[in-house]
Amino acid sequence: MYISKLSIKNYQNFDEFTINLKPLTLIIGENNIGKSNHLDSIGLLFSQYISFFKKRMLELADFNCITIRNFKRQLLDFGIPPDKIEYPIIQVEAILAGGI
């Protein structure tokens, strides 16, 4: 069994990100583009032992900075009623494929 599709929303450097994966996928790239954050997001779902930072609790720093900025703007805009403010969420979704 493997992750065939991974979708990440508002986690670390990912605003909205979706990737289709094969049974063996190699992720390479420059520094500071999100390779470790990609693995950490999978660790939030399945196990802290595959995550580099080995944590399962989210902190404010885990939210995408654009999402936090937009949330703060809504809080400071007195024209938006409190019940209409959109609170930020982190969403990670994995689709598994291939049976045992």
Query: What pTM does this model have?
Result: 0.81
User: For residue 46, what pLDDT is reported?
Assistant: 81
- Longest C-alpha distance within the chain, in Å? 55
Between CA 97 and CA 100 the distance in angstroms is 10
Q: In sequence order, what DSSP letters do the residues of the chain get, joined into one string? A: -EEEEEEEEEETTEEEEEEE--SS------TTSSHHHHHHHHHHHS-GGGSSS---S--GGGB-HHHHHHHHHHHH-TTS-GGG------EEEEEEES--
The per-residue pLDDT for 51 is 57
Q: What is the CA radius of gyration of the chain?
A: 16
78, pLDDT greater than 90 = yes
How do the domains of the chain map onto residue ranges? 2-97
47-66 residue pLDDT tens: 766 655 566 678 888 999 99
